Structure 1
Amino acid sequence: MTTAKLASLMARGAEFLGCDTAILCGAMSWVSERHLVSAMSNAGGFGVIACGAMTPALLDAEIAATKALTDRPFGVNLITMHPQLFELIEICAKHDVGHVVLAGGLPPKGSIEAIKAPREGKAGAKLICFAPALALAKKLARSGVDALVIEGMEAGGHIGPVATSVLAQEILPEMAQLLPVFVAGGIGRGEAIAAYLEMGAAGVQLGTRFACASESIAHPAFKKAFFRASARDAVASVQIDPRLPVIPVRALRNAGTEAFTAKQREVANLLDGGVVDMGEAQLQIEHYWAGALRKAVIDGDVEGGSLMAGQSVGMVTKEEPVAAIIAELMEQAAAALERRAV
């Protein structure tokens, strides 16, 4: 039975996450909050709170509110450059969060140990990290990371330079036997999920498909922009000054895209004048994105805000419940496996 084949291919990832279906919802700032996260976990997938620039107090409240809406496992995504990272890790431990996802670069010294440290007789959290290259994947595995997400440039938000299909071919044969590897970036249908599972992935991560779910608090105007968009509308930002450590961001093209170019020039001038150092310059860029994203997601400013979206946005055509999206993806994946078995 093909459904059994799909369940078998997903078993390792589902067991690792503690859920029914090895599909993570990518952590999207302002979008991946209590409502979408709990809906994702309640539907059998795995929701992930996007901490982003939250203070420890805000994260504390968000985790508590999510736990009030679901008794299923969910994770928390933390950004490595957050100035209060270790305090955020403590908040996760306080709530017995089972999985922490670290994004934004190599884990700083001591963070892996802090996340995985046992607490009051309970095991510490499992740690998931992003690996944009094979060498980094190997380094993270040696460091004690429990699972990896390999995310290609087709994804929305902050992206690396390599396509998902290339990363999968490069990393899965080398790493999939060592630890669970989840594939992300440009996945919009179940056929792609089936292909990556057959290549050795433990599961997948999708963000763009869930951003416009019924349970997402994103503004109706934000969702409407997604429904109208095609793959080619989701473009990567351009780095205008090689000194600025700007990670490209993929979003729907609008006036906000142009505003980011101007913001980079402004920060570069501050660097030239010695007003800020490189660390502060990077933080200013990150705060810009957080503010621009809030404008679009919460306020519905789809021209001046940032419409972060992956290239799979063309496959987002209507608002529907998370459970329906997961069911459709699983049906498509099962059908693809069945066709290959004939």
Structure 2
Amino acid sequence: MNPICNLFHIKYPIIQAGMVWCSGWRLASAVSNTGGLGIIGAGSMYPEVLRAHIQKCKAATAKPFAVNIPLLYPNIKEIIDIVVEEEVKIVFSSAGNPATWTSFLKEKGITVVHVVANTKFALKAQEAGVDAIVAEGFEAGGHNGREETTTLCLIPIIKSAIKIPVIAAGGIGSGKAMLAAFALGADAVQVGSAFAVAEESSAHPAFKNKIISATEGDTRLAMKKLVPVRLLKNEFAEAVATAEADGANREVLIALLGRARAKLGMFEGDMENGELEIGQVSAMLNEIKPAGEILQDIWQEFLAEKDRVTKLAF
């Protein structure tokens, strides 16, 4: 049996990313009900908002689901307590040191997965005792690795360095990409951008429409002096690019970013002044449809491509 399906008790080795302002209980439960692993993104939720999403997700699905927790979250202790109190069975951690909370979570019977963008942190996460790794390549949306290693290179490097299962992420929005990730050694895939435009995604309709209108080259990696993040191009992204070209330091970039910039764009729908986090695969997305249909399309294409490649004569 697939090790990730066995670990999470799911039907398909397809994980929905815990994206800020997109991954609420509706999306997570829809993905889980279809046989994948849905994830609630805690990064854009106050503690009690997260509790409400967990409770609604439990009411909407009897299948496994997870919560993604950025470990640098200011209310991290409160968030962890809520996850334990609400008996969440799977946690995906990111943006911080996994050694801080992994042992505590595992003592509570929680399966822990950590997101990394290089081999150094994959090894640290494995040493911390996590059950699996998400290896996220440069193509991914949102916060990204400073090394700018693409998924094509990152997956086989990390797979050869660690002994626990590897979930590939970054640029994966189709069955063809999923098959490629498996060929590189992945045990499962994590899909973000393709689910950001799902009907059940909590992203603003204007953001979804901008994603499906995106073409090749419409995203860029920005703010490397802070935390690298991949953005759709708009007035805010161009202002950041201009500031960086002029040699802006961290303080200038922090002031330009301000507060709640991602919420302004992704959740409230300001397509020019908001921060619009999305992956390069947005150029391949052209339709808003139910999450279950998205998952099944990926899986069926994966199976069809696997058969096609198997039949190739070399």
Structure 1 position 93, deviation (Å): 0.9
Amino acid at match of 1:251: L
Name which one, 1 or 2, has greater alpha-carbon Rg.
1
Q: Does 1:330 align with 2:299?
A: yes
Which residue of structure 2 aligns with residue 256 of structure 1?
A: 236
Q: Deviations over 1:143-183 (max 9, x none)?
A: 211110000010000011211111012111332xx211100
Structure 1 position 188, deviation (Å): 2.0
Alignment of 1:230-241 (within 5 A): 230-239=215-224
Q: Distance in 2 between matches of 1:268 and 1:74?
A: 38
Structure 1 position 106, deviation (Å): 1.9
Q: TM-score, normalised by structure 1?
A: 0.83
Q: Does 1:208 align with 2:193?
A: yes
Alignment of 1:1-342 (within 5 A): 11-107=2-98, 109=100, 111-118=101-108, 124-160=109-145, 161-175=148-162, 178-239=163-224, 244=225, 246-260=226-240, 268=251, 288=259, 291-342=260-311
Amino acid at match of 2:86: H
Asked if the contact 1:209/1:313 (under 8 Å) is kept, the reply is yes
* Structure 2 residues not aligned, in runs of 5+: none
Amino acid at match of 2:298: L
Asked if the contact 2:23/2:39 (under 8 Å) is kept, the reply is yes
2:69 counterpart SS class: strand
Asked if the contact 1:152/1:162 (under 8 Å) is kept, the reply is yes
Q: Distance in 1 between matches of 2:140 and 2:199?
A: 21
Q: Distance in 1 between matches of 2:20 and 2:190?
A: 15
Task: Please say which of residues 190-199 and 249-258 is displaced more in the overlay.
Answer: 190-199
Q: Distance in 2 between matches of 1:232 and 1:269?
A: 26
Report the identity percentage: 34
Q: Deviations over 1:3-55 (max 9, x none)?
A: xxxxx5xx221111221111111111111011111111111111111111533
Query: CA 1:94–1:238 in structure 2 vs 1: closer, same or farther (change >3 Å)?
Result: closer
Q: Deviations over 1:54-108 (max 9, x none)?
A: 3322221221121121111111111111122122111111111111111113225
Q: Deviations over 1:219-267 (max 9, x none)?
A: 221111111101310111144xxxx5x1111111001214556699596
Q: Distance in 1 between matches of 2:22 and 2:159?
A: 29
Amino acid at match of 1:231: E
Asked if the contact 2:28/2:39 (under 8 Å) is kept, the reply is yes
Which residue of structure 2 aligns with residue 4 of structure 1?
A: none
Asked if the contact 1:89/1:114 (under 8 Å) is kept, the reply is no
1:231 counterpart SS class: coil
Query: CA 1:149–1:186 in structure 2 vs 1: closer, same or farther (change >3 Å)?
Result: same
Amino acid at match of 2:276: L
Q: Distance in 1 between matches of 2:236 and 2:74?
A: 26
Query: CA 1:300–1:173 in structure 2 vs 1: closer, same or farther (change >3 Å)?
Result: same
Q: Deviations over 1:286-339 (max 9, x none)?
A: 873xx2221222221111112211000011101111111111111111112112
1:52 counterpart SS class: helix
Amino acid at match of 2:129: G
Amino acid at match of 1:17: F
Query: CA 1:287–1:22 in structure 2 vs 1: closer, same or farther (change >3 Å)?
Result: farther
Moved over 3 A (4+): 258-267, 284-288
Q: TM-score, normalised by structure 2?
A: 0.90
Q: For the aligned residues, what is the CA RMSD?
A: 2.2
